[in-house]
Chains A and B, each alone.
Chain A
Amino acid sequence: MSAPPREKQLLDTLTFVADTLVDDFDVVDFLHDLVDRCAAIFDAVDVGLVLADEHGELVVMASTNERLHLIEVLQLSAGNGPCVDAYHSGALVTAGDIEEIARRWPPFASAARDSGYQSVHAVPLRLRQGTIGSLNLFSDKLGELDPRDVPAAQTIADVCTIGLVQERTIREASLARDQLQHALDARIVIEQAKGVIAHSRDIDMETAWRMLRQRARSHQARVTDIARGVIDGLITI
């Protein structure tokens, strides 16, 4: 059984990200789904994602397995490793065999070897002029990342960045919608009720408003509820 063509996998991933950018967006789920898809697309054994927190410290956000998670933590605590380099340089970092890994990042090489990783590729997550983290692919096959795969890998990383940046806006928009809906309903209903009272009692809006509030107070009810009752003809003031 052959795997679906690369283009389709990428399109599916982009669709997945677009669909995810809605109200109930959960960033943790999003990142976990993304690393799983990445592993399937790039034939990587394991995929991990690290992000810089508000202090610029890298934190492991998602991994396809616990073993990789530990390795990433190792890199970060040592301040040494491909994911750290990708973050600092903003460029793709790739090492095609274990000897090269050992040469470039000695502390992390033995852990990598023990896990059976032969090659590693770290893709920076770029945001405008800076880098916010990196997407790291660990493979049990020899060889640097195929040049033909590099654009696809960067696209996934870029799409991941967009998702993360949008997440905050989506949360804010959701909160705004709820608050504003309530305020809008209250405002319309109260103004309409003032109009009803002003006409039926032949008074001005200011007096109508005072009477509305007075009724709410004396009945220990919310002004909005009394206003709605007035409009529906259930309450006469």
Chain B
Amino acid sequence: MTTDDELATLLASFLTLLPVEDAAASSLGRPFDLEVLGATSVRAAALTEAQIDLGEGPVWEAYRTGRTVTTDMHGAVETRWPFFSSSPVAVGVGVITVLPLAFGPLRIGAVSLSGVAATHLDEQQMTVAANLVLLVGRTVVAQALERAQDGETRRDPVFSRREVHQATGMLISQLGVTPADALMTLRAHAFSHSMTVRDVAAEIVAKRLDLSLEPDDRK
């Protein structure tokens, strides 16, 4: 079984053992890239990816605090993450439970559990979730080490940020700005057009989108 398969199997286990419909694992900071690592559905991936693009949301809080975060999306707009809770992906999502993802003292990102019919997890279910998350942490590190060794010859993971980095490079050349500003420009365009950062990057790399032009001339 490859580490990709292992991760998929572990994420599927959350759905089998717990009253949740979606599960997604993400890495949110150095020495890992900012990306969705695996998800049980497109909806699960989109929920996490939106938070990566916006820079706010329960996955960020869990990652930064090292604590489990629960949020009920049914209620009023969450003041903790106003942009995320009012974005289209959050519509119809029930309770989201996010556990921090780590390997020993090495922080990786988060595991997000959610679904329309999802409910708050009780103590026993939280223990199950926590134990599964430990296994996810080990698998993710093994996967990352494998990829580090394979270098360019590996196949692209499904949610790869490769194009985001390439698009950032193109913007550096196009706009004559620093990598940080280039990425910020990319994110701003994504936000204002309700697109994901990865989709905007794909458009830029395919040369269908040129951010150096005036807004009306861009597409």
Check A180 against B169 for contact (C-beta < 8 Å).
Answer: no
Please report A residues at the B interface, Cβ cutoff 8 Å: 21-23, 166, 169-170, 172-174, 176-177, 179-184, 187-188, 191-200, 205, 231
**B32 at interface by CB-CB < 8 Å:** yes
Considering the complex of A and B, which 5 residue pairs feature the smallest CB-CB distances, nearest first?
A: A195-B169, A183-B148, A191-B165, A192-B169, A181-B31
Rounded to whole Å, the gap between the CB of A87 and the closest CB of chain B is 27
Contacts A180-B144, A205-B166, A205-B205; A173 near B105 (Cβ below 8 A): yes
Kindly state the separation between the CA atoms of A182 and B145 in the bound complex, as whole angstroms: 11
Chain A residues positioned under 8 Å from B166 (CB to CB): 191-192, 194-195, 198, 205
Contacts A184-B31, A205-B205; A179 near B106 (Cβ below 8 A): no
**B30 at interface by CB-CB < 8 Å:** yes
**B173 at interface by CB-CB < 8 Å:** yes
Residues of B130-176 whose CB lies within 8 A of A: 141, 144-145, 147-148, 162, 165-174
Chain A residues positioned under 8 Å from B141 (CB to CB): 172-173, 176, 180
Contacts A176-B144, A180-B31; A195 near B162 (Cβ below 8 A): no
Which of B33, B144, B165 has a CB less than 8 Å from the CB of A195? B165
Check B30 against A184 for contact (C-beta < 8 Å).
Answer: yes
Chain B residues positioned under 8 Å from A193 (CB to CB): 169
Rounded to whole Å, the gap between the CB of B131 and the closest CB of chain A is 13
Check B179 against A22 for contact (C-beta < 8 Å).
Answer: no
Chain B interface, >50% SS class: helix
Kindly state the separation between the CA atoms of A193 and B168 in the bound complex, as whole angstroms: 9
Chain B residues positioned under 8 Å from A195 (CB to CB): 165-173, 205
Which of B104, B145, B170 has a CB less than 8 Å from the CB of A169? B104
Kindly state the separation between the CA atoms of A158 and B205 in the bound complex, as whole angstroms: 56
Rounded to whole Å, the gap between the CB of A22 and the closest CB of chain B is 7
In addition to A196-B170, A199-B174, 18 A-B residue pairs with Cβ atoms within 8 Å of each other are A173-B105, A173-B141, A174-B106, A176-B106, A183-B144, A184-B30, A184-B31, A184-B148, A187-B33, A188-B33, A192-B166, A192-B179, A195-B169, A195-B205, A198-B166, A199-B169, A199-B173, A205-B166
Check A173 against B106 for contact (C-beta < 8 Å).
Answer: yes
Chain A residues positioned under 8 Å from B173 (CB to CB): 195-197, 199-200
Check A183 against B147 for contact (C-beta < 8 Å).
Answer: yes
Chain A interface, >50% SS class: helix
Rounded to whole Å, the gap between the CB of B168 and the closest CB of chain A is 5
Check B145 against A180 for contact (C-beta < 8 Å).
Answer: yes
Check A192 against B165 for contact (C-beta < 8 Å).
Answer: yes
Kindly state the separation between the CA atoms of A173 and B105 in the bound complex, as whole angstroms: 7
Check B145 against A176 for contact (C-beta < 8 Å).
Answer: yes
Which of A170, A181, A192 has a CB less than 8 Å from the CB of B105? A170
Check B32 against A180 for contact (C-beta < 8 Å).
Answer: yes
Check A191 against B169 for contact (C-beta < 8 Å).
Answer: yes
Check A184 against B33 for contact (C-beta < 8 Å).
Answer: yes
Check A191 against B145 for contact (C-beta < 8 Å).
Answer: no
Check A231 against B179 for contact (C-beta < 8 Å).
Answer: yes
Chain B residues positioned under 8 Å from A184 (CB to CB): 30-33, 148
Kindly state the separation between the CA atoms of A23 and B32 in the bound complex, as whole angstroms: 18
Task: Give B96-137 as 1s and 0s: 1 = Cβ < 8 Å from A's Cβ atoms.
Answer: 000000011110000000000000000000000000000000
Check B148 against A180 for contact (C-beta < 8 Å).
Answer: yes
Chain A residues positioned under 8 Å from B165 (CB to CB): 187-188, 191-192, 195
Chain B residues positioned under 8 Å from A231 (CB to CB): 169, 172, 179
Task: Give B31-66 as 1s and 0s: 1 = Cβ < 8 Å from A's Cβ atoms.
Answer: 111000000000000000000000000000000000
Contacts A195-B165, A195-B169, A198-B170; A179 near B33 (Cβ below 8 A): no
Rounded to whole Å, the gap between the CB of A184 and the closest CB of chain B is 5
